[in-house]
Copies of this chain bind each other. A is one copy, B any other.
Amino acid sequence: MGNKLLLDQGSGGLASHRLVNEVFFRHLGNPILGRMDDAALLPRPKGPLAVSTDSFTVDPIFFPGGDIGSLAVHGTVNDVAMLGAKPLYLTCGFILEEGFDLDDLDRIVASMGQAARKARVKVVAGDTKVVPRGTADKIFINTTGIGEVVASPSPSGHRARPGDVVIISGSMGDHGLTVLSCRQGLAFDAPVESDCASLNHLILKLVTGLPAVHVLRDPTRGGLATSVNEIAQQSGVGVTLEEDAIPVKPVVRAGCDILGLDPLYLANEGKIICILPEKHAAKALTIMRRDPLGRDACIIGRVGAENPGKVVMRTGLGGRRLLGMLEGEQLPRIC
């Protein structure tokens, strides 16, 4: 194996087979993937399926707290889990640029393997394409996740109801600010780190302990503000958020101030929005706070019947303003 990726290694021929064995099988291998048929054969699932797909194009590919490989696992595991499902399987599609550093590829695939083992998901199918230099930027990864739905009924953005409270599992904006500060070569006083993590174990505890969870969503691209707007529209309800209740780390707030960004529109990769009837809120907070990934969980707002489809922010000074969806693009290639 040389130091740089060659076009040959995506040909489907001998060089591809070697790359698959030396990099992909070594880090992601398991008996299902090892069959090497055109498709993976999986046992009949025990319940309905949750399926999600995401392509990852994050720039830079390595950042504090993660890399494009771990992100590609966490992101899709989380999307599957948000249906109240237990993620079981991932597929991975790699688009690699000719000349890409093979040590970087190895490091990224190793990081995927580690993230997958921690989330207890198996990579069951994969594909690798190598495109000529200049026709892709280093590495893009698609992951598709398949899980068994455990919750019944399954949480959905359509199920928020007046009387529900809105909980988030921790601070907002960490991933977005980290990627942006890396890219701009900015150094803040305190280190900032992506929150990227697989939330499936936490979510399983939540939905098995609390069948009353109405909505679960991870506020990734577009941030908290966009995700809550989507839910308000899908459910035809109004949501009021308390600005002072939304946790944002001081370093993230300071970085956003410098860069003119709003942390509520920045991507998160290890946080959940959980919406459920108020009477179950205390239990949900207890379950979340027991998990290191939900330690800072708190109530940030309420669902009402007024202003259907809208999100209103109550500011610290007692004012109220509409919180819209993300318009324009703050930050391409955030995930």
Contacts and interface: CB of A to CB of B under 8 A. Distances in A.
A53 B136 contact: no
Contacts of A85: 39
Interface in A99-134: 124-127, 129-132, 134
Contacts of A140: 95, 136, 140
A329 B78 contact: no
Chain A interface size range: 35 or more
A131 B329 CA distance: 11
Contact of A124 (B51, B149, B220): B51
Interchain residue pairs A-B with the least CB separation, the first 9: A12-B221, A13-B326, A53-B91, A39-B52, A144-B144, A142-B142, A12-B222, A135-B137, A38-B82
Interface stretch (A154-162, A166-174, A205-213, A299-307): A154-162
A7 B42 contact: no
Contact of A37 (B83, B129, B142): B83
Contacts of A42: 48-51
A261 interface: no
Interface in A196-219: 216-218
A330 interface: yes
Contact of A49 (B44, B48, B134): B44
Contact of A43 (B48, B52, B129, B145): B48
Given A13-B329, A39-B82, A41-B50, 5 more contacts: A8-B329, A11-B221, A39-B83, A42-B49, A44-B47
Given A35-B158, A82-B37, A140-B95, A54 B127 contact: yes
A39 B11 contact: no
Contacts of A330: 11
8 contacts: A12-B221, A12-B226, A14-B327, A35-B158, A39-B83, A91-B144, A125-B144, A140-B140
Contacts of A39: 50-52, 79-80, 82-83, 85, 145, 147
A154 to B, nearest CB: 6
A181 interface: no
A36 B218 CA distance: 13
B329 A11 contact: yes
Contacts of A89: 51
Interface in A51-91: 51-55, 57, 59, 78-80, 82-83, 85, 89, 91
A328 B15 contact: yes
B83 A53 contact: no
B14 A326 contact: yes
Contacts of A126: 53
Most buried by B among A147, A156, A216, A267: A156
A129 B55 CA distance: 7
A328 to B, nearest CB: 5
Given A48-B41, A49-B44, A95 B55 contact: yes
Given A13-B325, A157-B36, A221-B12, A131 B50 contact: no
